[in-house]
Amino acid sequence: MVRKLKYHEQKLLKKVDFITWKVDNAGKEANVIRRYHIRKPSDYTKYNKLSREVRTLGEKIKSLEDTDPFKSEAASMLLEKLYSMGLMRNKIDLEMATRLTASSFCRRRLPVVMVKCRLSQNLKNATDLIEQGHVRVGPDMITDPAFLVTRNLEDFVTWVDSSKIKQHVLRYNDQRDDFALA
């Protein structure tokens, strides 16, 4: 016979779902989600899947014979694409493509780039500003914090023209034009 659960055990049991229980790689997923302030865990799952596919593609290219002309062409195309997305630091080493992780994709998210460019103090603040519609990348206003910023677009992350934050920065720098903002 099984004993009746105590009150605190019942409360704990309500928080755990044994039907959809999944392996979380010893808390690695939770650490990455917390570090990069990812609000939708499905985004991390997508990044993990993408990184796995890139790693397998890199392994397949790496396993080709050195004399095969397709190997050098495919390797250079893959490395160029990963470099232009900002996932790798250089276009030389195919070995780095086989060690790509979900964190590489997380580092290219818009809130992380905003913190890196010092448009925000922390990831939570950057995520809130993006969701409120204060940030644009190029000509487009972005409201999704999961937006991946490529190397080309990194220089075009700025405030929306009608944003109070932009007006405050311009006023602080004595560059505010009353005619343009009116």
What pLDDT is recorded for position 2? 83
What pLDDT is recorded for position 9? 87
78-120 pLDDT per residue, tens = 999 999 999 998 888 888 888 999 999 999 999 999 999 999 9
Q: Which residues of the chain have pLDDT under 50?
A: 181-182
Helix (H, G, I), strand (E, B) or coil at 133: coil
The string over 142-176, giving b where at least 16 C-beta atoms fall within 10 Å of a residue's C-beta and e elsewhere, is: beebbbbbeeebeeebebbeebeebeeeeeeeeee
Q: Could you tell me which residues are beta bridge partners of residue 159? A: 135
Domain ranges of the chain: 28-105, 108-181
What pLDDT is recorded for position 48? 93
Query: 155: which DSSP letter?
Result: G
Q: Residue 121: how many CB atoms within 10 A of its CB?
A: 10
Instruction: Calculate ∠ Cα 5-8-10, nearest 5°.
Output: 50
What pLDDT is recorded for position 80? 95
What pLDDT is recorded for position 35? 92
Taking every pair of Cα atoms in the chain, the longest distance, rounded to a whole number of angstroms, is 80
Distance CA 182, CA 177 (A): 9
Rounded to two decimals, what is the model's pTM? 0.77
What pLDDT is recorded for position 19? 62
Q: Which CATH number fits domain 108-181: 3.30.930.10, 2.160.10.10, 3.10.290.10, 3.40.630.30?
A: 3.10.290.10
